[in-house]
């Protein structure tokens, strides 16, 4: 689940053009994820069925989640002070779920985990991108700062649970269809089982979740310290 942090201060900071670009990027992402949240709430309030939920939100998720790949680029070129490795790990987990499970199988989108992770993602990202956009113009209200560094306490575990459920429901279909797998013999003498890779990837959540959650807890202590001035 993506919780990458962009520090509010960087020596020198981005150029004016860079700031305008980041302002546009974060504003667009705020609108996109807020729209996804409204799509989700509207769909289920109108008694929409889980079977058709993915078709309702698919392109919104694909567009705005994959756009997060740009955050890795931002970190790599120094446009923002985020760590490249941490940002990559957090962005990759979601992009992999979208491409490697939700778009690749018919079973993952019907998992009860889908609304869980979409709800967690959309709330988190609406807040996060709004915070980033307002921070660029130094207009972050205190309540948004507190919300940005508090909601993850519940939403991060919820999102991770949803992601794992989606991958779990994809496993039988992946095994049956041998999706993305390479069997022997072949010209390259190479064997790959996507089914077993997916299981291995799911187990990686066990050591990685505490690390990424701990990173956010560290950021929370830093940003919501005793001195509000230091938090800004």
Q: Residues with catalytic annotation?
A: 156, 163
Q: What are phi and psi of 2, to 5 degrees?
A: -85, 115
Ramachandran angles phi, psi of 182, nearest 5°: -125, 120
How far is the C-alpha of 170 from the C-alpha of 182, rounded, in Å? Answer: 18
Burial of 74 (0-12, 13-18, 19+ CB in 10 A): buried
Candidates 29, 34, 39, 41; CA nearest to 4 is 29
Helix (H, G, I), strand (E, B) or coil at 192: strand
Of the candidates 108, 137, 109, 105, the one whose C-alpha atom is nearest the C-alpha of residue 26 is 137
Is-contact 2 215, C-beta < 8 A? no
DSSP structural state of residue 109: G
- How many whole angstroms separate alpha carbon 140 and alpha carbon 135? 5
């Amino acid at each position: 689940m993506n919780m990458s942090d962009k520090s509010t201060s960087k020596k020198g900071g981005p150029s004016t053009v860079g700031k305008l670009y980041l302002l546009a990027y974060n504003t667009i992402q705020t609108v996109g994820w807020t729209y996804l949240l409204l799509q989700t709430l509207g769909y289920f309030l109108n008694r929409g069925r889980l079977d058709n939920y993915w078709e309702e939100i698919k392109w919104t998720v694909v567009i705005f989640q994959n756009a997060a790949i740009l955050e890795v680029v931002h970190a790599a070129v120094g446009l923002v002070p985020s760590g490249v490795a941490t940002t990559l790990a957090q962005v990759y987990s979601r992009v992999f779920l979208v491409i490697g499970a939700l778009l690749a199988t018919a079973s993952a989108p019907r998992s009860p985990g889908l609304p869980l992770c979409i709800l967690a993602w959309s709330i988190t990202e609406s807040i996060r991108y709004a915070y980033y956009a307002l921070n660029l113009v130094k207009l972050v209200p205190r309540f948004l700062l507190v919300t940005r560094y508090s909601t993850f306490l519940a939403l991060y575990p919820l999102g991770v649970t949803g992601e794992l459920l989606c991958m779990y429901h994809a496993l039988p279909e992946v095994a049956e269809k041998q999706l993305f797998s390479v069997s022997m013999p072949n010209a390259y003498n190479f064997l790959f089982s996507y089914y077993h890779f997916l299981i291995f990837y799911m187990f990686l959540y066990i050591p990685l979740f505490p690390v990424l959650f701990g990173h956010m807890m560290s950021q929370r202590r830093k940003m919501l310290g005793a001195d509000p001035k230091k938090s800004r």
